Amino acid sequence: MPRSPYAPCPECRRHVRVAELRCPFCDRDLASSDLRGDELPDQRFGRAAQLAWKLTLGGVGAVACASGGGPTNVAPPPAPSREATEVRAPPEAPTADAGPEAEAPDALPRNVIAIYSATAIKITKSVTFPPYSANVVAAQAPTLDAIAELLAKYPKMQVEIQGHSDEGESPKFAEARAQAVRAELVRRGVAAERLTVKSLGKDWPTAPPPNPANRRVQFQILSGGDP
């Protein structure tokens, strides 16, 4: 049976000419190798059988070799990008002893005011303040409007307003901030008796101090939070 003028390299297994002294792919010395061409299919077989034999030589490069051209180095497909396969981990759940409302408010989208579960409602949005100040800035108005709207929807809800201060600030700012937020909610139609105030000072930072996120007022639903 006739043999092909090409044979697989002992090192990289790519087909090279039998007369080659060095593999053009892996630079293997072929002078001492006894390269023997692959057996060609008998001419009695049809074109389909011969084509099948060509494909077994290694794909596109082998077909080019069998048709008389030189060996072809086909580059492998690029590896999938990391962005296409990367799976992002969900945010960690707060620990049981993290303290009252210690989870960072930025863990949720900025426009989320409350979380509704099967058993309770939790206010997640906080009101933040400039340093050494208890003045409610205009940028906090949408948050206060949304919380007042939530309280109007649940008229039996009782809420504790918790004031916080940052490292280096006097504890009086925590109290003053909570009182200022209470006044803003009352001005928006919430009954004052539904709102209690508690100062937590700098004992429950939401970020390593000093940090603007620590100068805040958060909300704890005491009762009437059943959805």
Q: Tell whether 45 and 136 lie within a shared domain.
A: no
Enclosing domain of residue 188: 105-223
Give domain status of residue 203, yes or no.
yes
The residue ranking higher by pLDDT, 97 or 141, is 141
pLDDT in tens, 29-49: 777 666 665 554 444 444 544
Query: Please, what is the Cα angle at 149 between 193 and 185, to 5 degrees?
Result: 40
Q: Tell whether 124 and 215 lie within a shared domain.
A: yes
Residue 109 has pLDDT above 80, yes or no: no
Count of domains for the chain: 2
Contact yes or no for 132/169 (Cβ under 8 A): yes
- The 10 Å CB-count burial string (b at 16+, else e) for 128-160 is bbeeeebebeeebeebbebbbebbeebeebbbb
- Residues for the chain: how many in total? 227
Q: How far is residue 117 from each of residues 72, 122, 156, 227, measured CA to CA in Å?
A: 62, 8, 18, 8
Mean pLDDT of the chain: 72
Q: Tell whether 117 and 204 lie within a shared domain.
A: yes
In this prediction, residues 137-163 reach a mean pLDDT of: 94
pLDDT in tens, 181-221: 999 999 999 999 999 999 999 999 999 999 999 999 999 99
Q: Tell whether 54 and 131 lie within a shared domain.
A: no
Give domain status of residue 123, yes or no.
yes
Q: Tell whether 41 and 122 lie within a shared domain.
A: no
Give domain status of residue 184, yes or no.
yes
In this prediction, residues 168-189 reach a mean pLDDT of: 97
In this prediction, residues 120-145 reach a mean pLDDT of: 93
In this prediction, residues 87-103 reach a mean pLDDT of: 39
Residue 118 has pLDDT above 90, yes or no: no
